[in-house]
Structure 1
Amino acid sequence: MSNCLFITWDGPQTSYLEALFLPIFERLGVHGHRIHVLQFTWDEADRLAGIKNISEVVDVPYRAVPVWRRAGTAGPFASAVLGQRHIWRAVRDWNINTLMPRSLMPALAVLAMGPRSGLKLVFDADGFAVDERVDFGGLSSKSPTYRVLRAVEAHTVRVADRVLVRTPRAIDILCERSKTDRGKFHVVGNGRDPTAFLGSSPRRTDNEFRLCYAGSLGAQYRPDQMIELAQCLRTHIPNLVFRIFTGDETNLDIVLDKSGVSDRSWIEVSRLPAQEMPAALMQCDLALALRQPSFSTQGVAPIKIGEYVLAGLPVIGTESVGPVEPLIEAGVMFPLKNDVSQVWPWVRDNVIPNRLALRRRAQELGLAHFSLKASVDSYLAALDIDTS
């Protein structure tokens, strides 16, 4: 049905491509949508080789494009604009008929191509990236960078054949910003393949209580509060170990120094390949998925929540960020606001005495709301466009 080029822009601290998108793309290939990947990145060569190997295994052609990180914002903007040459080369080499840029810098690269006769455009808006930089990265909403990227967003939404979002609220916002038709929007899911989560986890012989967090550690993920919460729980659970799965160790060190954590023997930090994460999560007891509510979070659906519940983990998270209402209603998620002292009674009365029952309930919710099949079905509906 289509030869699609997925164009993404990823830093070294993220693994969205391997963990989320490649399994979805593999399944889309079964339904006649051959997905190819062009990744703009500044990651290290050995990790890129690993991504390429994973892509080959799932039959998704892959190329990496280096991002120039010098000269402030000029380097990344130049990489995007000049990156249109790499897109054209991929179009020719892979006989592409549909472009799918994810977020704003890839969208800029597509716009820099000029006339794209014969190429359909599916824009994966993927939240509000530039607004997130205003909310958490110190970018001014009056700056040239913000204005340019907002213009890229609005124009790409207007000219796209389809627009992919993660929440219904994102549709409202993008329609208002771009003054375009709601009919082109599709909400797609961030589901995971449950297979790796459904096997029997190795029997534990330790007596640790394992709190965990998976992902990057920017300000929007409330790392200061995470550390405060972990320390609070440890006063009640002396055998608590905090496992942090991240590629963002620099930010973690800053947070720990700021929090005055001198004894770090109870904090374990590692970065695991995507295929090893399910087993690692299944060895834990409780997970964190905090997010600072803001304008930009109206468009996000955190991937880690689906991973946690499929692994059978109860979650301490943030209300109204992502599709978490079923988890809260089922007692699988505690919606934390500001007072971390409220967490211990919930853990004491619900998590510790009911671990097995909570695991079963969490996995049932994961299968119902965060499955790979549901995500693939949502993409199939969005890609149902004439590519002749």
Structure 2
Amino acid sequence: MSRLLFITWDGPQTSYLTGLFLPILTRLRQSGHSPHVLQFTWGSDEKVVETKRTCESQGVPYRMVRVRRIAGGIGPFLTAVAGSLAIRRAVRDWKIDLLMPRSLMPALSVLCLWTTRGLSIVFDADGFAADERADFQGLSRSSMTYRLLKWVERRMVRLADSVMVRTTKAADILQADSRTDVAKFFVVTNGRDPSAYAGERPSRPDNSLRLCYVGSIGDQYLPDQMLELARTIRQSVPGTTLELFTGDTQNAVEALGRANLADAAWITVRQIPPAAIPAALKSCDLALALRKKCYSTQGVAPIKIGEYVMAGLPIIGTAGVGEVDSLIKAGVMFPFDGDHGAATQWVIEKFLPNKVHLAQEARRLGTELFGIERSVRGYEAAIRYARAAKAH
């Protein structure tokens, strides 16, 4: 079994480490592995202390490297380069034999090590970080920053003994770009613990249709289209409501203003802690998951998709973003292509008459496809392959 170092780079607004990855690392620990965490972050001291306490309460040792936020991208770049020293100390102190860098900045730190001799490497590519910045943050694909990040991606894929991705398309793209062995790519899921979503859905005295959305509110999530879709459904299904569960409350308010829905009593914006999300979703009927399709979205698997279906919520969402073909085939996801009328017709003719059955089917598929056990099996397969490759 491995003594692995999970290396991650997280902003203060995210809870990916404790909410998504720590449960997976904890399951790996229960299987005999010994996971450790090195987190690069610019979060507050209070946030760091909380994260450290949470990790160590699960038996996972934790260290932090403070990201220098100076001179634009220079500070983070220097942090990543110098971060190789923190990795080396962690390897020495914790007797690490396997590195698991997640995304490009931790990958850069690993590439800056003098040597990785004796260390197996599992690279968690987790999407196309450079292309996400180009698609949604204005980074020019001809810029030095973009070219550097793509070099890091390509070099890390080649160096790694195995590579974890979220979609088969991501594996195809990275394999073709790096010209490396296709066998070392493993599609893993962003799994959640199904037990958090277990139990009966609460009964409601009214017969209203409750729509919901969970997650960030930004241009890539098409908030204007989402609100127009909700309004169109409400026009045909009186009493429809919409719950927006998001930490981006300001962006949500701005989107409502653009849609002339700022004072709409049927729409609620709420920020809730991660632990409260399962119960909040189970109180709703139908979920929304729109996403702007572009190059980088070929590599992402929205976490909200798994959360929705495990909570028993069918989805109106964008096809081709994440591994959702099986959900569409089973009828628990309507592939939205911008046609509000077609989506509304599906709600009236397919969803409403079959609410109970579709909720049960969504829950079944959610547990099967997005449960944490499947994620752990994927991680273990990538680790086994990496260790075997290093042994040879």
Hey, what does 2:294 align to over in structure 1?
294
Hey, what does 2:20 align to over in structure 1?
20
Hey, what does 2:109 align to over in structure 1?
109
Shift of 1:208: 4.5
The 5 Å alignment of 1:179-190 reads 179-190=179-190
Hey, what does 1:336 align to over in structure 2?
336
Hey, what does 2:64 align to over in structure 1?
64
Hey, what does 2:304 align to over in structure 1?
304
Counterpart Cα distance in 2 of 1:12 and 1:352: 40
**Letter of the aligned partner of 1:231 in structure 2?**
R
**Letter of the aligned partner of 1:374 in structure 2?**
R
Shift of 1:303: 1.5
Identity of paired residues, percent?
Answer: 54
Hey, what does 2:259 align to over in structure 1?
259
Q: 1:83 to 1:256 in 2, by over 3 A?
A: farther
Task: Between 32-41 and 259-268, report the one with greater CA deviation.
Answer: 259-268
1:347 aligns with 2:350: no
Contact 2:212–2:242 under 8 Å retained in 1:
yes
* TM-score under structure 1 length normalisation: 0.93
User: How many residues in Structure 1 have an aligned counterpart in Structure 2?
Assistant: 388
Hey, what does 1:365 align to over in structure 2?
365
Q: 1:13 to 1:316 in 2, by over 3 A?
A: farther
Secondary structure at 1:150 match in 2: helix
CA RMSD across the alignment:
2.0
Q: 1:58 to 1:315 in 2, by over 3 A?
A: same
Contact 1:38–1:62 under 8 Å retained in 2:
yes
Counterpart Cα distance in 1 of 2:39 and 2:380: 22
Counterpart Cα distance in 2 of 1:18 and 1:272: 16
Contact 1:212–1:287 under 8 Å retained in 2:
yes
The 5 Å alignment of 1:212-227 reads 212-227=212-227
1:172 aligns with 2:172: yes
Contact 2:317–2:336 under 8 Å retained in 1:
yes
Hey, what does 1:98 align to over in structure 2?
98
Task: Between 342-351 and 146-155, report the one with greater CA deviation.
Answer: 342-351
The 5 Å alignment of 1:99-248 reads 99-205=99-205, 208-248=208-248
Shift of 1:125: 0.6
Counterpart Cα distance in 1 of 2:37 and 2:251: 29
Counterpart Cα distance in 1 of 2:65 and 2:341: 47
Counterpart Cα distance in 1 of 2:302 and 2:311: 15
Contact 1:120–1:161 under 8 Å retained in 2:
yes
Shift of 1:128: 0.7
**Letter of the aligned partner of 2:118 in structure 1?**
G
Secondary structure at 1:89 match in 2: helix
Q: 1:48 to 1:248 in 2, by over 3 A?
A: farther
Secondary structure at 2:39 match in 1: strand
Shift of 1:286: 0.9
Shift of 1:226: 1.3
**Structure 1 residues without counterparts, runs of 5 or longer:** none
Q: 1:66 to 1:247 in 2, by over 3 A?
A: farther
**Letter of the aligned partner of 2:28 in structure 1?**
L
Contact 1:14–1:215 under 8 Å retained in 2:
no
**Letter of the aligned partner of 2:131 in structure 1?**
D
Q: 1:37 to 1:351 in 2, by over 3 A?
A: same
**Structure 2 residues without counterparts, runs of 5 or longer:** none
**Letter of the aligned partner of 1:121 in structure 2?**
I
Counterpart Cα distance in 2 of 1:15 and 1:234: 33
The 5 Å alignment of 1:31-70 reads 31-70=31-70
Over residues 59-105 of structure 1, what are the superposed CA-to-partner deviations in whole Å (9 max), with x where a residue is unaligned? 22223332223321112212222222322232233221111111111
Counterpart Cα distance in 1 of 2:23 and 2:331: 29
Over residues 287-321 of structure 1, what are the superposed CA-to-partner deviations in whole Å (9 max), with x where a residue is unaligned? 11111111111112222111110100010111121
**Letter of the aligned partner of 1:155 in structure 2?**
R
Secondary structure at 2:93 match in 1: helix
Shift of 1:205: 4.2
Counterpart Cα distance in 1 of 2:94 and 2:223: 42
Q: 1:194 to 1:144 in 2, by over 3 A?
A: same
Contact 1:14–1:247 under 8 Å retained in 2:
no
Contact 1:100–1:123 under 8 Å retained in 2:
yes
Contact 1:12–1:247 under 8 Å retained in 2:
no
Counterpart Cα distance in 1 of 2:248 and 2:121: 33
Counterpart Cα distance in 2 of 1:187 and 1:321: 14
Secondary structure at 1:63 match in 2: strand
Shift of 1:262: 2.5
Secondary structure at 1:83 match in 2: helix
Secondary structure at 2:122 match in 1: strand
Q: 1:230 to 1:107 in 2, by over 3 A?
A: same
Shift of 1:168: 1.7
Counterpart Cα distance in 2 of 1:49 and 1:238: 48
1:324 aligns with 2:328: no
Counterpart Cα distance in 2 of 1:45 and 1:244: 29
**Letter of the aligned partner of 2:77 in structure 1?**
F
Shift of 1:42: 2.5
**Letter of the aligned partner of 2:240 in structure 1?**
L
